[in-house]
Structure 1
Amino acid sequence: MVTISEKIKEIQDEMSRTQINKATEYHLGLLKGKLAKYRRMLLDPDSSSSQGSKGQGFEVSKSGDARVCLIGYPSVGKSSFLSKVTKTQSAAAAYEFTTLTSVPGVLHYEGAEIQIVDLPGIIKGASEGKGRGRQVVSTAKTADLILMVLDATKGPDQRENLERELEAIGIRLNKSKPEITIKYKQSGGIKLISLNPPSHLDEKLVSSILKEYRIHNADVTLKDKDVTVDDLIDVINEKHVVYTPCLYVYNKIDAVSLEEVDRIAREPNTTVMSCEMELSIEDVVEEIWYRLDLLRLYTKRRNARPDFSEPLVVRNQSTIEDVCNSIHKDLKDNFKYALVWGSSSKFGVAPQKCGLNHLVHDQDVVTIVTK
């Protein structure tokens, strides 16, 4: 009996043999759809397939205001970085596979508690379950930010290979969700809707890929004419795909030239450090805070001064309703109105009376008035 891993290998071999041109677009699109389906069956713990072995997570409870996962090959400095920025002493040594399970720590910064999770070093083939690939996947998909720790003394292959592994398991780095909507129907077949002629998709290809997932009736709307087959497959598998910001951190900059450090540091979404020499670690922490895009709010009781000692930390684009939920799950049920001071108030220094839908800004002062 052919296993899922063998089916994946067969599809990958066929794709590598197929020349990429206009005539082969349809065939390659179907192969990509099959490949994504089999990878999901192999890695998803909830898959009904009996051939894909179940992947257990590391059972690290998500805590604090945000979660950052450290991902990288063995011996790049993940454990050393965790030990420098938290009170957790993750095992660190100059040999590979020091970390065999995930190790969480807490970074206290700007009043926020940021959970830092050091995952085991990823090896080639992790996306197919090799090493501890399944466990790494299940935890990495819960991250608010991925910190990809790389070795400044090594070539670009390390980054490209890690990106490929994460891409294969459904983690999209520094990308937004494709502008495609799928409305499922009871009948009527597949209908493709687009304001402009799509550059990479047509109704035949869309129908064939959907049928691979046993979807026979749906309206597919393309809001961007340049969306690709890969984008469509991601939207079909939206429950198994996450869009996560990523910061590339190159460690061991003390072992390369200043010219090389300057070149690396100029790459997008990239920063540099040396854990051994304790160089630029604070810069990395500042960049983590910036990438998480969190807001600090200060609460104020009526007829009292604001409490600036412990900010309430919420996500960007949070509303007063989100603030209520952060304080207590039942608070919004007794909500009457809120008073907000700060840049989100249209009255400047004077408070604005507002409802649950009001968007708060960083360092706003908030009073919640209940019934």
Structure 2
Amino acid sequence: MGIVEKIQQIEDELARTQKNKATEYHIGLLKGKLARYRAQLLEPTPGGSSGGGQGFEVSKSGDARIALIGFPSVGKSSLLSKITKTKSEVAQYSFTTLTSVPGVLEYNGAELQILDLPGIIGGASEGKGRGRQVIASAKTADLILMVLDATKGPNQREILEQELESVGIRLNKTPPNIYYKQKTTGGIKVSSTAPPKYLDEKQIASILRDYRVHNADVLIRDENVTVDDFIDVLNAQHIAYIPCLYAYNKIDAVSLEEVDRLARLPDTVVMSCHLELGLDVLIERIWDDLKLLRIYTKRKGEPPSFDDALVVRSNSTIENVCDRIHRSIKDQFKYALVWGASAKHNPQKCGLSHHVADEDVVSILTK
């Protein structure tokens, strides 16, 4: 029996098994096996490459990558043409009827790469076609933009979320607060800061045995973690936690009451590509969700340059700013002067570990 058949068999058994206290251990074991088989299915073939001929992978460029997904005819192509100033040629890739269209959104001095990944739906989780490459590209995204049709029901969103979930992409979630370390001796030791409500030592031990782990330390720091969370920790190298923004298109075709209802959903914006409604709000929300910082540089004795910002990730330090300028600067670094929200006074003399804020002005002094 192949891996795909094993996955289907487990999914069928999970669907048939009623969830209750007597079956929770069995269900946990089945979920653990399912995650393990899916991870095996999506791993690159040993000794293989990404595939001969024209590959799928598009080089990551710009200051951030946004993966654009959605069903056909929801307006993805229209959205790309409206918000991107430069686009590469449309290229055909061998993944069913996949067409990948990378585009660049220029905003606040940053270049944001938008990559349309329609092929993540319809077989990607089963490794069909170039499913592995599609998923690998999606997992490198800094934000997933899910384009939905406002004239259709919630089923479209649920299908997309389930497909992404099945390939190890967790939307708008953070990694479970569980410490796990495999050892060579000592058996399985489970401890917690507070008794977990939905997970116990018996479940943990049975799943670890199925993964052929007989010696490990497990510390649960969150009482609300579940079996699924623990399985994600075991498969951490195959799991990606990515923020997701839901964009409902075609709001011009539904009632104002429905537009208001959709707009109030969490992590959601509403728009109409046809009438160009809400596109500015969408772009602002993309920027906010990416949490990028603009840093301006200043030469000694000269005014700061506000024409060309350095774009860095949130929680960045002076060291990250140095790397964006040139990696050799750190070797000659003496100190930095910082003006802006991160400074206690202007200017503040800082070292490499100082955390910068949006629109800070930084002057790097070298030895």
> Normalization by structure 2: what TM-score?
0.93
Deviates more, 1:29-38 or 1:195-204: 195-204
Aligned-pair CA distance for 1:239: 0.8
Partner of 2:222, secondary structure, is coil
Partner of 2:79, secondary structure, is helix
Aligned-pair CA distance for 1:88: 2.2
Partners of 1:64 and 1:89 lie apart in 2 by: 14
Question: Does the Cα contact within 8 Å between 2:57 and 2:134 map onto a contact in 1?
Answer: no
- Say if 2:34 is the partner of 1:35: yes
Total equivalences in the alignment: 359
Q: Are the structure 2 counterparts of residues 161 and 287 from structure 1 closer, same or farther at C-alpha, using a change threshold of 3 Å?
A: same
Residue 269 of structure 1 corresponds to 267
Q: Are the structure 2 counterparts of residues 234 and 98 from structure 1 closer, same or farther at C-alpha, using a change threshold of 3 Å?
A: closer
Residue 302 of structure 2 corresponds to 304
Aligned-pair CA distance for 1:76: 1.1
- Say if 2:65 is the partner of 1:85: no
Aligned-pair CA distance for 1:80: 1.1
Partners of 1:107 and 1:164 lie apart in 2 by: 28
1:68 aligned partner, one-letter code: I
Gaps of 5+ in 1: 92-96
Aligned-pair CA distance for 1:100: 2.1
Q: How does 1:132-171 map to 2 (within 5 A)?
A: 133-171=131-169
Question: Does the Cα contact within 8 Å between 2:88 and 2:102 map onto a contact in 1?
Answer: no
> What is the identity percentage for the equivalent residue pairs of Structure 1 and Structure 2?
66
Residue 328 of structure 1 corresponds to 326
- Say if 2:348 is the partner of 1:342: no
Partner of 1:362, secondary structure, is coil
Among 123, 126, 129, the alignment partner of 1:128 is 126
Q: How does 1:215-226 map to 2 (within 5 A)?
A: 215-226=213-224
Question: Does the Cα contact within 8 Å between 2:96 and 2:129 map onto a contact in 1?
Answer: no
Partners of 1:196 and 1:135 lie apart in 2 by: 41
Partners of 1:98 and 1:32 lie apart in 2 by: 29
Partners of 2:96 and 2:39 lie apart in 1 by: 29
2:17 aligned partner, one-letter code: T
Residue 311 of structure 2 corresponds to 313
Q: How does 1:1-371 map to 2 (within 5 A)?
A: 2-45=1-44, 58-86=56-84, 87-88=86-87, 100-130=98-128, 133-347=131-345, 350-371=346-367
Partners of 2:60 and 2:331 lie apart in 1 by: 26
Question: Does the Cα contact within 8 Å between 2:337 and 2:349 map onto a contact in 1?
Answer: yes
Partner of 1:30, secondary structure, is helix
Partners of 1:277 and 1:129 lie apart in 2 by: 38
Question: Does the Cα contact within 8 Å between 2:74 and 2:148 map onto a contact in 1?
Answer: yes
Q: Are the structure 2 counterparts of residues 362 and 71 from structure 1 closer, same or farther at C-alpha, using a change threshold of 3 Å?
A: same
Aligned-pair CA distance for 1:330: 1.6
Q: Are the structure 2 counterparts of residues 358 and 83 from structure 1 closer, same or farther at C-alpha, using a change threshold of 3 Å?
A: same
Aligned-pair CA distance for 1:130: 4.2
Partner of 1:353, secondary structure, is strand
Moved over 4 A (4+): 53-57
Partner of 2:56, secondary structure, is coil
Aligned-pair CA distance for 1:202: 1.7
Partners of 1:123 and 1:201 lie apart in 2 by: 32
Partners of 1:230 and 1:145 lie apart in 2 by: 23
Question: Does the Cα contact within 8 Å between 2:119 and 2:131 map onto a contact in 1?
Answer: no
1:282 aligned partner, one-letter code: D
Partners of 2:293 and 2:88 lie apart in 1 by: 29
Question: Does the Cα contact within 8 Å between 2:67 and 2:144 map onto a contact in 1?
Answer: yes
Partners of 1:248 and 1:90 lie apart in 2 by: 26
Question: Does the Cα contact within 8 Å between 1:194 and 1:222 map onto a contact in 2?
Answer: yes
Gaps of 5+ in 2: none
